[in-house]
């Protein structure tokens, strides 16, 4: 049945509940879940939660359309846990399955749901690439009620006979449009084909042709709940096109990254993310890179440092940051302008969340101004155009930009340990870092020692 014919409730774009008097208990959730939410200070459902939870608890297939940050995780996670509770899962056979496109999103889903499910004795496990497969296999053997998985790793476990989907009663597909963009739909179909008929819920920011095919193939008479069409031109968000000369692009970027507050900077490639991060650290800005070329441990650590304020600037590629939610991001900077208007909206959506204000800036070299303007029009965004340099008063007024100290800072994770411990590689005699007794210093020439860079082999990350 085409999606156009599906009954659809259009919810307000605001996260606020449609009825402020409705609480989670009124939606039919079991008391342990309501109590767990109350302990976290969550007592009023967002609009998409208020709409989806009763239908999901009734066993209906649900199609939810809304941006990341609209409250989708609790909208599907709470009813899923309520429906699979009541008995332990059999070894290797989860009863609830959440399929997500990225590792970071899997961990966010787990972090949001696992504490809430403890009152229902829900055991939860994430299975993603770049992490220990033996530990995942052991957890599945012990039994987990809810599995949160990326497609590639889940198929690996199924092929190793470490996981079977025979008992899955509730299946969630989250960020389906990103799943399509990343080429995961064939893997998703292989997984869904192995799950017996049961309740299925799919959430997506958009319903493009590929996502529409998944809905038609795997959802049965779904009830559709959609937030108002996505737009980044909300009242709480400012949009600026900062026109820069090539020689000014890096100084302007560094000044913006050095502002007070959390800032996410978007670039197009992994190499560009690493290069810019090194340049920012080199002029005194504490920055970290987030992209698919990093090991999972490195990505998790970088996100934790950003959330905790140990780094104030996160340099990210589109795929790595899609779906990432970090509170308090007050500015998004497109160092490389996005080509697609959907990428602009997703990038911009990292700020001005949950009623907060935010600023979105796009750097444009002379040849990029016109195509960036056309892209913004497709996104429904009006850009305030300003020519700037690094020491421009307009730049400071619009973004809070501040000139960096110029004193290099160590890359994230390499600061000197507290408590007087020497950094790894420091000599006992208090010599320069890198000098060990009986070993050549950093200027020595050898097959694995080169001036100014670390050439230790990088361990390949798992699929």
**What CATH number is associated with residue 314?**
3.40.50.300
pTM of the complete model? 0.69
Beta bridge pairs of residue 170? 96, 199
Q: Tell me: the pLDDT tens digits for 103-156?
A: 888 998 999 999 999 999 999 999 998 888 999 999 999 999 999 999 999 999
Instruction: Kindly state whether residues 39 and 84 are assigned to the same domain.
Output: yes
pLDDT at 401: 95
Q: SS3 for 123?
A: coil
Residue 346 maps to a domain: yes
Instruction: Mark whether 34 and 142 lie in a shared domain.
Output: yes
pLDDT > 70? residue 80: yes
pLDDT band at 300 (very low <50, low <70, confident <90, very high): confident
- Backbone φ and ψ of 41, nearest 5°: 80, 20
pLDDT of residue 22: 86
Helix, strand, coil shares of the chain as percentages rounded to 5?
A: 35, 15, 45
Tell me, yes or no, whether 142 and 271 share the same domain: no
Domain end, chosen from 372, 399, 426, is at: 399
Angle made by CA atoms 372, 376, 381, in degrees to the nearest 5: 145
Domain range holding 48? 3-227
Residue 434 lies in a domain: no
Question: At 446, is the pLDDT very low, low, confident or very high (cuts 50, 70, 90)?
Answer: very low
- Which range (232-246, 281-295, 418-432) has the least confidence? 418-432
Answer for the pair 195, 94: CB distance below 8 angstroms, yes or no.
Answer: no
Same domain, 197 and 247: no
- Residue with the two structure tokens 């020491």: 391
Q: Is there a single domain that holds both residue 169 and residue 194?
A: yes
**Do 133 and 22 fall within a single domain?**
yes
Query: Do residues 358 and 323 both lie within one domain?
Result: yes
How would you class 455 by CB atoms within 10 Å of its CB: exposed for 0-12, middle for 13-18, buried for 19 or more? exposed
Please name the residue ranges forming H helices in 19-71: 31-39, 47-57
Tokens matching residue 144: 């987990």
Where is the domain boundary, 180, 208, 227?
227
User: Do residues 124 and 148 lie in contact, with contact meaning Cβ atoms separated by under 8 Å?
Assistant: yes
428 occurs within a structural domain? no
155-169, 333-347, 411-425: which has the minimum mean pLDDT?
411-425
- pLDDT at position 325 is 74
State whether 178 and 290 are in the same domain. no
Under the banding of pLDDT at 50, 70 and 90, the label for residue 228 is low
Element (H, E) at 138: helix 133-142
Instruction: Write down the H helix ranges in 182-336.
Output: 185-193, 209-218, 249-257, 270-282, 296-308, 318-321
**Does 411 map to a domain?**
no
User: Based on the number of CB atoms within 10 Å of its own CB, is 72 exposed (0-12), middle (13-18) or buried (19 or more)?
Assistant: buried
| Co-location of 210 and 250 in the same domain | no
- Report the pLDDT value the prediction gives residue 430, as an integer from 0 to 100: 37
The mean-pLDDT minimum among 192-196, 320-324, 344-348, 458-462 falls in 458-462
Is the model's pLDDT at 2 over the cut of 70? no
Residue 75 vs residues 13, 189, 247: alpha-carbon distances, Å: 15, 23, 48
Residue 434 has pLDDT above 80, yes or no: no
- Domain assignment of residue 458, yes or no: no
Domain count, the chain: 2
Same domain, 126 and 261: no
Higher pLDDT, 5 or 94: 94
Has residue 422 been placed in a domain? Answer: no
Predicted confidence (pLDDT) per residue in 351-371, tens digit = 866 557 789 999 999 999 999
Mean pLDDT of all residues in 376-392: 91
Residues 213 and 265 in one domain: no
Lowest mean pLDDT among 69-78, 219-228, 378-387, 447-456: 447-456
Which of 371, 399, 427 lies at the terminal end of a domain, its last residue? 399
Query: What is the percent of the chain where pLDDT is above 90?
Result: 59
Q: Are 73 and 99 within one domain? A: yes
Give the pLDDT confidence score for residue 443 in this predicted structure: 35
């Amino acid at each position: 049945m085409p999606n156009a014919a599906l009954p659809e409730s259009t919810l307000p774009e605001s996260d606020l509940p449609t009825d402020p008097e409705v609480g989670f208990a009124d939606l039919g959730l079991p008391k342990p879940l309501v109590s767990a939410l109350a302990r976290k200070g969550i007592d009023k459902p967002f609009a998409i939660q208020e709409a989806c939870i009763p239908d999901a608890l009734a066993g209906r297939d649900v199609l939810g359309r809304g941006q990341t940050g609209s409250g989708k995780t609790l909208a599907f996670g709470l009813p899923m846990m309520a429906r699979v509770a009541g008995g332990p899962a059999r070894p290797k056979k989860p009863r609830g399955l959440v399929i997500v496109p990225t590792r970071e999103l899997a961990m966010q889903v787990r972090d949001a749901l696992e504490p809430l499910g403890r009152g229902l004795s829900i055991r939860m496990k994430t299975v993603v690439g770049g992490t220990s497969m033996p530990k995942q296999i052991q957890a599945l053997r012990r039994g987990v009620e809810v599995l949160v998985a990326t497609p590639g790793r889940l198929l690996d476990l199924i092929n190793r006979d470490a996981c079977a989907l025979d008992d899955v009663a509730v299946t969630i597909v989250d960020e389906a449009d990103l799943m399509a963009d990343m080429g995961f739909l064939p893997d998703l179909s292989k997984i869904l084909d192995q799950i017996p008929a049961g309740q299925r819920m799919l959430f997506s920011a958009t319903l493009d042709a590929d996502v529409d095919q998944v809905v038609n193939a795997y959802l049965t008479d779904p009830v559709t709940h959609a937030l108002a069409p996505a737009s980044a031109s909300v009242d709480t968000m400012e949009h600026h096109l900062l026109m820069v000369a090539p020689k000014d692009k890096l100084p302007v970027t560094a000044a913006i990254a050095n502002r007070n507050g959390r800032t996410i900077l978007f670039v197009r490639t992994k190499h560009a993310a690493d290069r810019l991060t090194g340049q920012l650290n080199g002029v005194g800005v504490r920055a970290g890179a987030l992209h698919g070329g990093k090991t999972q441990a490195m990505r998790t650590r970088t996100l934790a440092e950003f959330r905790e304020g140990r780094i104030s600037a996160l340099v990210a590629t589109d795929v790595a940051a899609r779906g990432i939610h970090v509170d308090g991001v007050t500015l998004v900077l497109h160092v490389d302008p996005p080509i697609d208007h959907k990428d602009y909206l997703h990038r911009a959506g990292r700020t001005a969340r949950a009623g907060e204000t935010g600023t979105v800036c796009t750097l444009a070299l002379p040849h990029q101004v016109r195509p960036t303007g056309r892209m913004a029009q497709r996104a429904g965004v009006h850009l305030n155009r300003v020519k700037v340099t690094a020491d421009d008063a307009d730049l400071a007024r619009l973004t809070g930009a501040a000139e960096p100290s110029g004193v290099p800072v160590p890359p994230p994770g390499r600061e000197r340990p507290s408590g007087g411990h020497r950094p790894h590689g420091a000599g006992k005699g208090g010599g320069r870092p890198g000098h060990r007794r009986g070993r050549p210093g950093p200027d020595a020439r050898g097959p694995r020692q080169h001036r100014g860079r670390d050439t230790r082999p990088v361990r390949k990350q798992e699929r």
